[in-house]
Each structure stands twice: as C-alpha cells, then as structure tokens.
C-alpha cells in the first residue's frame, strides 16, 4: 500500500481518475482540445536507477519526477495526471522513478522522507532552487499550476 503525504487520497484517486475520466474532464474544462486526437507529443518515461535520473537531468532543462518506493498503486494512481502533464507541458520531461533499491542515496540527494513524492528538477535554476518539492493539495489543477509556475520562474 502507498504511504506518505500523498497516500491518504490515493485510493479515492485510483477510483476516480481513470484515463477516460481525466481526458473528458480536461476537454470539458477547455484545457486540452483532445489528448487522444493524435499520438502523444511527450511520453511519460520511467528511470531505473539514480544514475539514469542524473543523466536525464543533464539532458533535460526541467524534469517532473514521481518518486516512489516500488508501489504499483502509486504509479497507477498518478499515471493519468503524469500523462496529461506531459501533453500540456511538452517542454518538460515527465518520469517515474522507483527508488526502492537506492533509498539511502535518494534520501540523501533529494531529502525524500515519504513516498510517493513529486519533484521538479530544474537544471538551469540557481543553486538551492534546482529541486522543487510539490507540497500542494492532491488535485490535478494545483499540480498543473505548480508546474506552470516553475516554467515562469515563480
């Protein structure tokens, strides 16, 4: 089962956020004309190790990462949101990272104390602002607003 600061609402999120529901909601809200009209512009990737994550941050200016400890439930619950973020923010790379085999290293490097955790890794930000934690409510609009604010340097 998922644990951490995002865990409480995960079960309701899993019931309510199927891909079809998310696409319909985004279309009705006018955020996306249709995510299914064409092939995805940006894919959600998965990195397998801390080294792969470091290489990804060297290639990408901004990277949104769902860090989890091996819980399939966490990844499945957030997959529709991550896919939508990848389509709405094509200048971001969006990825998942299972840090269960490298917990101590990841905890030291990113101060991850609970899983799942959502972080923005911004290569070109000033020192001390390159890792931004998502601490907002478990709502897609808040997550999207947080990511857009990061684009604008807020």
**What backbone phi and psi angles, to 5 degrees, belong to 41?**
-80, -25
pLDDT, one tens digit per residue, over 72-121 is 677 888 889 999 999 898 888 999 999 989 989 988 888 888 888 899 98
Local structure of residue 153 (DSSP, 8 states): T
The pLDDT value recorded for residue 26 is 53
Put simply, whether the predicted model's pTM sits higher than 0.75 gets the answer: no
**What backbone phi and psi angles, to 5 degrees, belong to 119?**
-135, 150
Helix (H) or strand (E) holding 66: strand 62-68
Q: How far apart are CA 130 and CA 61, in angstroms?
A: 10
The pLDDT value recorded for residue 134 is 92
Task: Quote the mean pLDDT of the chain.
Answer: 76
pLDDT, one tens digit per residue, over 110-147 is 888 888 889 998 888 778 888 889 999 888 999 999 98
The pLDDT value recorded for residue 2 is 43
Joined together, the tokens standing for residue 10 give: 């995960």
Burial of 72 (0-12, 13-18, 19+ CB in 10 A): exposed
């Amino acid at each position: 089962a998922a644990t951490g600061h995002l865990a409480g609402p995960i079960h309701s999120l899993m019931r309510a956020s199927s891909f079809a529901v998310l696409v319909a909601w985004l279309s009705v809200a006018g955020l996306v004309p249709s995510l299914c009209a064409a092939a995805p512009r940006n894919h959600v990737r998965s990195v397998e190790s801390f080294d792969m994550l470091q290489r990804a941050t060297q290639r990408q200016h901004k990277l949104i990462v769902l860090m989890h400890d091996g819980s399939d439930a966490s990844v499945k619950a957030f997959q529709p949101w991550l896919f939508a973020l990848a389509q709405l923010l094509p200048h971001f790379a969006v990825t998942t990272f299972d840090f269960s085999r490298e917990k101590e290293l990841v905890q030291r490097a990113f101060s991850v104390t609970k899983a799942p955790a959502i972080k923005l890794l911004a290569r070109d930000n000033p020192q001390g602002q390159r890792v931004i934690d998502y601490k907002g409510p478990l709502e897609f609009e808040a997550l999207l607003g947080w990511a857009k604010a990061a684009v604008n340097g807020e």
